[in-house]
Amino acid sequence: MRPLEGSTAEDAQGVSPGRRLGMLWRLMPLLLLLVLIPFGWVIYATAERGLRGQVESQLETVLQADVAALRLWMSDKETAAQLIAAQEAVREPAAELVEASAQSEAAAQSQAAPESPAAAAAGRRLAAAMDPLIRGTSAVGWAVLDGEGVVVASDDPALLGTRRPDEQAGFVDGVLSGATLISHPFFPAASGVEDGGESPAQEPVMYVGSPLKTDGDRVFGVLALRLLPQEFTQVLTVARWGESGETYAFDGEGRLLSRSRFEGQLREYGLIPDLPGVTSILTMRVVDPGYNVLRESPPADLSPERPLTRMAASAVTGSAGVDAEGYRDYRGVPVVGAWTWLPDSGFGVATEVDVDEAYGSLAVVRFIVIVLLALVAVAALAVLLASRSLYFLRVRHARGEKQSDRLGRYQLEEKIGAGGLGEVYKASHVLLRRPTAVKILSQERLDDEELRRFQREVQLASRLTSPHTIRIYDYGIGGDGTFYFAMEYLPGVDLERLVEATGPMPEGRVICLLLQVCESLQEAHGQGVVHRDIKPGNLIVSPHGGELDFVVVTDFGLARDFSDGEPAAARGAGVAAGTPRFLAPEALRHGGVIDESGDIYALGATAYYLLTGSEPFDADTLAAAVRSALSEDAQRPSERLGRPLSADLEAIVMQCLEKDPRARPHSIAALAAALRSCGSSGAWSAADARIWWTERGRDVEAGRAEGRAAQSGGRADRG
């Protein structure tokens, strides 16, 4: 049976895993509630903030799209008016009519159009020229005004001799000053309900005006093309949000300049008269009614004064903004909106959508959170009701907990490491009492093929007899199918921890340690076994037979047997096994199995680390280190250190790190021979090691426990 993690010191004090399990079960409902209630609130608050940001962004996007379409429409109308006003066939008769109007005292007194034959002829020529010109536009009529704002020609005879309305004085004066402008919608004559409310009101119109100029560029009149406000309204529907979204325009007094999307509701609830010809344009103001007219009755204390909505009050001051919190619109319905003021046109544009639609998805999140908390509460009640029956399970577990610390013939004592493939426990043989390290492989990471592979690799690793190779004692499968193997327990520290604690090593010591690794790998390679994960973390310095700098190669968990002659590409292709920062470029590039030259490269990278205290490609991220290993040459160790190194040793290290496997030493035996020929070879003795450990042993004492874990690959950064 597989042991429970961490069942060591606490068990010795009389608290068994079964009792801890029982206490956990009793506390679990409360813990779940304490965790999930704030967690649910955080989820809801986060969703609300995120959705509010999306709402603001979408409102601004819709507004910008509609404003852009509106500006394009206005520019198109202004361009058309300018082109028509520049036509000689228009300017000449228009100038004659304006001149005749100015010279006719009778026309000035009676505000009647000139009736001279010349003026009548000019009017006919102008009408003949205008008819085909406006046919290609969306204009529904035209008029020519003189410098006093009097209509001297028009397609509508009823307009002849009339003077521009006072509210359009700014529009006419602006055109006479040389600008091409579009007017706001306005009623062309006295509008409203007449005859006791039975007559329809006149529909509003709007004009685009362009100056009429002489050849000398003097403005003598205004050409005005009549437009329908419905077209103006349609432009503001280019972008619209959902079922309740609306973009509309309004003037400085808050009057609608475009038609409301909710005109039916406005009539139904009496906000505009329900009469033929009456629309929301100019008859509806963007004011806050003080209540939701669609759902509520008017309050008794409702003030007759209606202030502008929060949006309109901001916009008419010339401000732009967005409000995702919500405010009442001109129906009293809570909405969110974005708005801007167009100073060159003298009106504002707003886009709004009902709060209920904008935040509809938030209600779903709220429902999910409530349901989740309700389920937790139900689960908590169920756990409390079942706690009595769990007592018997705890007793049964307590009776069997001593057996749970056994795995085969080994008594597990404490967990000393964990890696990507399993966990390592310090243990002892039940009969021999020999200290042992037991590695339990993770069942979640193993399928049948992986299990067979590990069995094969444990078998091949157990054939290795070098004292510098970790010894495999035994392997087996527990009663629950757990695969484990027992190996030599090393009470030492790995070279990675050693360098971290004390810094780079002298050359003689590096050569001494590397030669021991070469001895282990030479035997392994001779039997067709490639380690594939040589690195400082898998090399343990442990006392052995009086030697203090005795190196043992560990973690043959990734080793492969090539003695059967099967090609590398056929085994594990596509999986770059090992530690990327120490893998040979060919393994990184092809993501497959490496041969003996890969171990030589990794040993060269290890030597580089021992000499400099850093990896050959020491980048901020693993991805950057891999890119450098594939495309760049490593910096020479002496350059990295900032001081000279023996040329012969540095040359060997750099040769091991060659990108081309053929340029590296052709075997471990050749590498060992090259190391022995170095001038620093033999400069480190057993006596030197004893002195060093006496002086520096305390610096690495803290790393011994983690060093023991390294024999399991517990500190490996595979991947």
* Catalytic residue numbers, as ranges: 533
DSSP type of residue 178: T
Specify which residues 414 forms β-bridges with. 426
Buried b (16+ CB within 10 A) or exposed e, 524-542: bbeeebbbbbbbbbbbbbb
Distance of CA 174 to the CA centre of its chain: 51
Specify which residues 143 forms β-bridges with. 154, 224
- The full DSSP string for 419-434 is ETTEEEEEEEETTT--
**Could you tell me where the DSSP H helices lie in 150-216?**
169-176
Place of tokens 């521009």: 164
In whole angstroms, give the CA distance from residue 611 to residue 526: 28
- Confirm if 85 and 134 have CB atoms less than 8 A apart: no
CA neighbor of 534 nearest in space, from 504, 510, 555, 515: 555
In whole angstroms, give the CA distance from residue 183 to residue 81: 13
**C-alpha distances in angstroms, 269 versus 273, 301, 337, 558, 666?**
10, 19, 23, 80, 94
Rounded (10°) CA dihedral 580, 581, 583, 584 = 130
In whole angstroms, give the CA distance from residue 337 to residue 323: 5
CB atoms within 10 A of CB 652: 21
**Burial level of 705, CB count in 10 A (0-12/13-18/19+)?**
middle
Q: What is the side-by-side order of every strand in the sheet holding 539-541?
A: 493-494, 539-541, 551-553
- Confirm if 516 and 540 have CB atoms less than 8 A apart: no
In whole angstroms, give the CA distance from residue 581 to residue 622: 7
